[in-house]
Amino acid sequence: MTYRSPLLSRPGAVAAEGLDQGVAAHYGDPLREQRALAAGTAVVDHSQHGVVTVSGPDRLSWLTTLSSQDVSRLAAGESAELLLLSLQGRIEYDAHVVDDGETAWLLVEAAEAAPLAEWLGSMKFMLRVEIADASSEWGVLAATTPLLESTPCWQDPWPGVVPGGFAYAVPESHPGQDRPWFEYLVRIAELDSTVSTLLAAGMTLAGSLAVEALRIAAWRPRWGAETDEKSIPHELDLLRTAVHLSKGCYKGQETVARVHNLGHPPRRLVFLQLDGSQHTLPVVGSPVLLGERNVGTLTSVAQHYEMGPIGLAVIKRNVDPEADLTVLDGDEPYIAAQEIIVATDAGQVVGRQSGFLKAVR
């Protein structure tokens, strides 16, 4: 059954497609909504996302053994991000985790929820954990400012470097610092009334187009957008928030350690400032060209209220970071200036002396 948010009945709501199917793309004025969201005066219906719960006294130590992150000492109310990887180190699940002292709440993309709950259930063995897909009961409201009390809230650690993490981005000042992000768990039956209370208090509604524009501007990768069947954490700068490099063994750890210490990721995430003269946007999935050579794929695109058309792309690691690229949508070319997110010399930290990449302080 396809999810449909009760907030889609709000005046002006236009339904989103793709990853955000089931909620509003906007409520009539996407750029105004984006400004309000950036200013902290708007709330977003994020209830298309999946929610998986893990309860029981062994939940945090168990999740630590399975995942790329150490959440064994996660205190009530604290947030984390973890990845579940394949044996080859490829990203299978990306979960936003907040613990309330009794239950670990895993906020994921809609397509992740059911298979993640099933896989976790298969890994219980004799441990004291209980897993449930709670997506039909719980939704998510999101904002760039604290909103609600007495409900679990995940605060995005991006772009900070968490304990055990490592940054592959070049700049000293990361644009993600301008985008604090909070995701609040709200019962779907109470979504409409909760939003009505927030609107009465002076908030406005923003749609998923506003969320995507701010996410792209913050260089924040998203599962299902920037990831594919070959993605490893290094390519997306996810070692900064979702990987603990010195924790115990987990599936995929060998690849994570080998690429980080001795090798280089084959691809890298890049930010694109697109030529805005066409007054249109290329479609996601369009090839990214260097000259006539295909070097990558456009993974996300948006119209930003200040910067104009922007995007994220995953391209080959050795592409000249100074070169202008072209996004080719059918026969329509879009010239794109790139900004480095993952350094061209990312990885191979053993014996590193110099290069784009700087060690975390």
Alpha-carbon distance values, 261 to 241, 347, 350, 354 (Å): 18, 6, 5, 15
CA distance 315 to 271: 10
CA distance 146 to 153: 9
State both tokens at 50: 């999946």
Of 45, 77, 81, 74, nearest to 59 by C-alpha is 74
The answer to whether 211 and 226 have CB atoms below 8 angstroms apart is: no
State both tokens at 144: 């760039």
**Residue 183 assigned ligand-binding role:** yes
CA distance 194 to 187: 9
Q: Which amino acid, residue 152? A: P
Can the peptide bond before residue 180 be classed as cis, meaning omega within 30 degrees of 0?
A: no
Nearest 5 degrees, angle CA 233-CA 156-CA 261? Answer: 25
Task: Name the DSSP class of 217.
Answer: H
Alpha-carbon distance values, 196 to 12, 13, 79, 204 (Å): 15, 15, 27, 10
In angstroms, how far apart are the furthest CA atoms of the chain? Answer: 61
CA distance 256 to 116: 21
Only one residue has tokens 């784009």, namely 356
Of 144, 158, 137, nearest to 222 by C-alpha is 158
Binding residues: 183
Known binding residues for substrate are 183
